[in-house]
Amino acid sequence: MSGADGLFERVPFTDEIAVLRDLYPRSVWPGHKNLGQTAKFWLQRHDMFRELGEMMTTGAGAFLENQDDPRAFMGWLAPRLNLFLRELHSHHHVEDVHYFPIFRAADERLGRGFDILDADHHTIDALIHDIAGTAMTLQTAIQTRGEVRRAADAFAQQLGHTTTGLIRHLDDEEDIVVPLILDRTEVKLGV
């Protein structure tokens, strides 16, 4: 999706897209009786993606500043990045094939929002590929004592860009999914 709805162009969802957000603002989510196990687990996954993205972006920035021990940095980064990319890919897949169709069917007014979120998944999946590519280039540069600084810079930029878009996506997705769950309950939605 491009234009005003694109992941890097848009502002937070308007009330016409997030139609239930006004009724169930974020402040009521944590203590709401309809916030069930599925929603809690799903929100925890989102928080894990936010934390990992920010942790790695900060770590890559610090490495760029001092470039102390490239192998140690790669040893720190690799398991976190692998977890982040792998889990993000499978998270999107489960949303695409399982959750989004159920939520779309529950309230047709949310269709536009899910169209945008679905397009985000394609955008982010392409970025996942790009991050993996820049990480491989960095690893090769470290192993061969090549242009480590240039490779680390490209990786950090790609990661920062992706994390910015991902946080926009997570925030918007929560703004339409959580109010729907609170409104209908997980049992009635079948999730």
Q: What is the contact surface with Fe ion in residues (CB under 5 A)? A: 95, 173
Distance CA 114, CA 17 (A): 9
Least distance (Å) between residue 64 CB and Fe ion: 29
Distance CA 161, CA 153 (A): 12
> Which residue, 98 or 188, has its beta carbon nearer to Fe ion?
98
- Report how far apart, in Å, the C-alpha atoms of 74 and of each of 136, 138, 142, 149 are: 10, 9, 8, 13
Least distance (Å) between residue 100 CB and Fe ion: 8
CB 53 within 8 A of CB 166: yes
> Which residue, 130 or 147, has its beta carbon nearer to Fe ion?
130
Least distance (Å) between residue 41 CB and Fe ion: 11
> Which residue, 77 or 116, has its beta carbon nearer to Fe ion?
116
> Which residue, 95 or 175, has its beta carbon nearer to Fe ion?
95
Least distance (Å) between residue 169 CB and Fe ion: 6
Beta-carbon contacts of 41 under 8 Å, excluding residues fewer than 6 positions away, are: none
